[in-house]
Amino acid sequence: MTTQIGVLVMSYGTPESLDGVEAYYTHIRRGNPPSPEQLKELKDRYEAIVGGVFPLRENTDRQVEALQEALNKDNRDPEVEYVCFQGLKHAHPFIEDGVQAMADQGITRSVGVVLAPHYSAMSVGGYIKRAKEKAESMGIEMAFVESYHLHPKLIEVLANRLSRRLDEFEEAGANRDEVRVLFSAHSLPERILATGDPYRDQLLETSQAIADKTGVKSWQFTWQSAGRTAEPWLGPDILDTLRELSKEQVKYVLSAPIGFVSDHLEVLYDLDIEAQNIAAELDMRLMRIESLNSDPGYMEVLSDVVRSKADQWK
């Protein structure tokens, strides 16, 4: 007889339409509605990205489907059937809806995993807290994957993407060593450092591991997509970094947003539009590595970390 193990796959979430942007933004702001100017500015950013749509929704749907397939592939755990449920931080179906759906299906044990490889109490920690609270109230036993930022397969798939773009720079006439690689991730408020949060160190470890694997010497880490709040956020921001690099006469830049696993606003707008515009002004050639989305290698990473957590129940 097979046992069902639930997998709560958690991701940031995105609105379903432009009409849903206000409710989404209000949720991100913990119930404080944005001003009309802030709302317009966010809608404009969504409208500017490819097709003016919300690619994160489709990408997350595909990732959840692909993970379920990868987990049950080859009948590796014949006694277990993994059933994936989606839980989003700021949109429907919310994290709590995902846990409820598991309970409705009679699932009593589940692994929670976030589609973000690096742990911060403010990001992944927040997802886990909400899932845990709901699971406890529903009598579901849950185990959580906190991070997977040094998983060898993750480093391999990211390194392959980086190498492919370096080849393209070479084909375009640049010398590989002239390309400055900029690893980046979503900024968070500086106050996380005072509490010993591992976010920054984990990001630097991923960057170093990819640089080692690809033999890249000319790299640095920079932040992106800082929130629009008054408190200080971790920096330098990628736009300032580009300006600094221009002063150093750097002409070729490769962006590697390792903190993200999907094409979405923070990649398609903040990097592909905003950073590209600055690069053009500075007469720099900027390329970006391809996002992981539902790459089979990334699905292997996720299924491996989920299985390791589920092993305790076998």
Residue 275 CB, nearest approach to ligand FEC (Å): 15
User: Smaller CB distance to ligand FEC: residue 73 or 191?
Assistant: 191
Q: At what angle do helices 296-310 and 152-171 cross, to 10 degrees?
A: 170
User: Smaller CB distance to ligand FEC: residue 54 or 148?
Assistant: 54
Q: Is 45 annotated as a binding residue?
A: yes
Q: 36 preceded by cis ω (within 30°)?
A: no
> How many Cβ atoms are within 10 Å of 125's Cβ, its own excluded?
15
Residue 259 CB, nearest approach to ligand FEC (Å): 6
Cα separation of 141 and 31, whole Å? 30
User: Smaller CB distance to ligand FEC: residue 5 or 55?
Assistant: 55
Q: Is 266 annotated as a binding residue?
A: yes
Q: Is 269 annotated as a binding residue?
A: no
Tokens of 101: 């759906």
Q: Which residues bind ligand FEC (CB under 6 A)?
A: 12, 14, 25, 28-29, 42, 54, 56, 116, 122-123, 186, 188, 227-229, 259, 264-266
Pairing of strands 179-186, 109-114: unpaired
Helix (H) or strand (E) holding 302: helix 296-310
By the 8 A CB rule, do 286 and 253 touch?
yes
Residue 163 CB, nearest approach to ligand FEC (Å): 25
Q: Is 171 annotated as a binding residue?
A: no
User: Smaller CB distance to ligand FEC: residue 59 or 214?
Assistant: 59
Q: Which residue(s) pair with 183 in the sheet?
A: 221, 256
User: Smaller CB distance to ligand FEC: residue 202 or 214?
Assistant: 202
Q: Is 46 annotated as a binding residue?
A: yes
Cα separation of 122 and 201, whole Å? 15
3-state class (DSSP) for residue 16: coil
Residue 270 CB, nearest approach to ligand FEC (Å): 9
Residue 117 CB, nearest approach to ligand FEC (Å): 9
Report the amino acid identity of residue 138.
M
